[in-house]
Amino acid sequence: MSRSENSVAAAEPPHQGCASAQTLTPAAPPAPLTGLALEPRPCATRPAASFRRRFYPGVTAAQWNDWRWQVRNRVTNLTGLARFLRLSPSEERAFSAHSGKLPMGITPYYLSLMDPENPEDPLRRTMVPTWYEAVVSPGESNDPLGEEHDMAAPGLVHRYPDRVLFLATGFCSAYCRYCTRSRMVGGNGHGMARSKSDMERAIAYIEATPSVRDVLISGGDPLTMADDRLEWLLDRLRRIPHVEMLRIGTKTPAVLPQRITKDLVRRLKKYHPLFMSLHFTHPAELTPETAKACARLADAGIPLGSQTVLLAGVNDSVPVMRKLMQGLLQMRVRPYYLYQCDPIAGSGHFRTPVSRGLEMIQGLRGHTTGYAVPTFVIDAPGGGGKVALYPEAVIGRQGGDLLLKNYAGETYSYPDQGGEWGPAAC
């Protein structure tokens, strides 16, 4: 994504309010996604097409479905936002208290999924700044994972023995308020686009490091890069003999599904094995548009996994998490990681106790398809890497038997011949 494209000013129409929006004639219903019925959210469930007709009356469906139009028309300031949402005092204050670290940016498409009247709307909470971001709690920092310490080359984090993280861009089409890399996205730190010379230095490091067999391309959001630039990077990496696999980390199918064009997918499928980690937060993101984007990627043979950050008041309930994970499976996205929210500066209002994450896993494991259960991890502050956490299943021993607690909380014993592991029960 070029800077010039990013800087095109949005032409935002006046805010009409939720009530009037509801009086619209609904758009033709999209193909239903069975089992994805959301909790009642009367304003947020209106189709994107109705939102477009109401707020962008001069914009055609073709323009709306053009990802470049969506990026050019991102809502990036208080005035623009107030035209669509009835802002709370905390949201309004955020703009005056804002330290300028993480900018706001929301695609019109993603905005159409939010409840204009309710500041507690889950998607709205993840994208609209609040005053709470200015509150820095003990233990929080701008680089909690210590990524800068592990930079092997510009934008290249080499932490684990056989894989590297390639930060290809600092741009995202929408900025999550809990972003671990808020220090470097949206024009902070290294700026938006990684220069070609920086990329060459990162590629040269990988070429010279035979232990690297896996490259995760992230950012920012690499799918906001122009097709040619992204393909250039994939091609360069694919030519390195010891790089066995490539991965892309992205939130694009959730916030900008229009970006998953046939042409993009045609290019991506040339670089197999190519995996994708898709960032999803809430079942309200699982729209027909997103389903279509995921279907295109899956049909191209790209294994899809999900990454979800556990967020207080957004997705930290078992029913919401279950609906999200089951809905992702319907889209052929395998739940991969559930992250404890990193202690970035100003994240206290998003972070839950770690025990809540274990409750999520306990509420999923055994209660639904095993494929729907992600691994709950804490990315250890200071660069310790991911540490997986599991609810206690081994509760003791009885003679030679291991005592196990099943998903329903019942105790069973297993004849553990020669086993010494596990605490003694009695």
Footprint of ligand SF4 on this chain (CB under 6 A)?
Answer: 172, 175-176, 179, 181, 185, 219-221, 251, 279
DSSP letters spanning 316-366: -SHHHHHHHHHHHHHTT-EEEEEEEPP-BTT-TTT---HHHHHHHHHHHBT
Compute the least distance from the CB of residue 181 to ligand SF4, in Å: 5
* Residue 176 labelled as part of a binding site: yes
Three-state DSSP class for residue 15: coil
* Residue 294 labelled as part of a binding site: no
DSSP letters spanning 272-304: -SEEEEEE---GGG--HHHHHHHHHHHHTT--E
Compute the least distance from the CB of residue 316 to ligand SF4, in Å: 17
* Closer to ligand SF4 by Cβ: residue 209 or 306: 306
* Residue 179 labelled as part of a binding site: yes
Tokens standing for residue 89: 């005092």
DSSP letters spanning 126-189: HHS--GGGG-PPTT-BSSTT-TGGGEEETTEE--STTEEEEE-BS--SS--TT-TTTTTSTTST
* Closer to ligand SF4 by Cβ: residue 186 or 363: 186
* Closer to ligand SF4 by Cβ: residue 118 or 224: 224
Compute the least distance from the CB of residue 169 to ligand SF4, in Å: 9
- So which residues are the catalytic ones? 159-160, 163, 172, 176, 179, 181, 342, 379, 386
Tokens standing for residue 94: 């955020």
Range 361-383 burial, b when 16+ CB lie within 10 A, else e: bbbbbeeeeeebbbebbbbeeeb
Residue 383: closest CA among 140, 148, 136: 148
* Closer to ligand SF4 by Cβ: residue 185 or 260: 185
Compute the least distance from the CB of residue 209 to ligand SF4, in Å: 25
* Closer to ligand SF4 by Cβ: residue 215 or 402: 215
Compute the least distance from the CB of residue 179 to ligand SF4, in Å: 3
Three-state DSSP class for residue 397: strand
Residues whose CB falls within 8 Å of the CB of residue 168, separated by 6 or more in sequence, listed in order: 155, 194, 199, 217, 218, 219, 220, 222, 225, 230, 233
Distance CA 149, CA 417 (A): 46
Which helix (H) or strand (E) is 267 found in, with range? helix 262-268
* Closer to ligand SF4 by Cβ: residue 221 or 285: 221
Tokens standing for residue 117: 């009247």
Compute the least distance from the CB of residue 381 to ligand SF4, in Å: 17
Q: Which residue positions form the known binding site?
A: 172, 176, 179
Residues of the binding site for [4Fe-4S] cluster:
172, 176, 179
